[in-house]
Amino acid sequence: MERRFVTLFVVSILFVVAPNLAQSQILFQAFNWESWRKEGGWYNFLGGRVRTIANASVTHVWLPPPTHSVSEQGFIYYYFSLLLLQNFLDMLTISRVLCLGYLPGRLYDLNASRYGDQGDLKALIRQFRKRRIISIADIVINHRTAEKQDQRGIYNIFEGGTPDERLDWGPQMICSTDTIFGGTGNPDTGLDYGAAPDIDHLNPTVQSELSNWLNWLKTEIGFDGWRLDFARGYSPEIARIYIQNSSPGIVIGEIWSPLSNYEGSDMNAHRQELINWVDAAGDNALAFDFTTKGILQLAVQGQLWRLRDQTGKAPGMIGWRPERAVTFVENHDTGSTQNLWPFPGDKVMQGYAYILTHPGIPCIFYDHYFEWNLRDEIHNLATIRRLNKIHPTSVLRIIAAEADIYVAAIDERVIVKIGTRYHVGNLVPPDFHLVAHGNQYAVWQIRRR
Please give the positions annotated as active site.
229, 254
Distance of CA 171 to the CA centre of its chain: 31
Give residue 385's identity as a one-letter amino acid code: R
Q: Which long-range contacts (CB under 8 A, 24 or more apart) does 220-224 make?
A: 221/66, 221/110, 221/118, 221/121, 221/122, 221/125, 221/137, 222/122, 222/125, 222/126, 222/129, 222/135, 223/63, 223/125, 223/135, 223/136, 223/137, 223/248, 224/134, 224/135, 224/136, 224/248, 224/249, 224/250
Q: Are strands 325-328 and 285-288 parallel, antiparallel or unpaired?
A: parallel
Indicate the helix (H) or strand (E) that contains 200.
none
Q: 207 near 237, Cβ under 8 Å?
A: no
| Dist CA 53 CA 134 (whole Å) | 12
Is the C-alpha dihedral spanning 26, 233, 183, 242 positive or negative?
positive
| Dist CA 143 CA 174 (whole Å) | 9
| Dist CA 159 CA 147 (whole Å) | 6
Neighbours of 28 (CB within 10 A): 24
| Dist CA 384 CA 378 (whole Å) | 10
Query: Which are the contacts of 141, defined by CB distance < 8 A and separation ≥ 6?
Result: 199, 201, 210, 228, 229, 234, 242
Coil, strand or helix: which one is 141?
coil
The CA-atom distances, in angstroms, between 229 and each of 2, 101, 104, 354, 381 are: 48, 11, 12, 25, 28
| Dist CA 332 CA 316 (whole Å) | 21
Choose among 420, 446, 419, 422: nearest CA to 432.
446
| Dist CA 316 CA 59 (whole Å) | 23
Query: What is the chain's length?
Result: 449
Helix-helix angle 290-299:348-355, to 10 degrees: 130
Q: 296 near 354, Cβ under 8 Å?
A: yes
In terms of Cβ atoms closer than 10 Å to its own Cβ (0-12, 13-18, 19+), residue 92 is middle
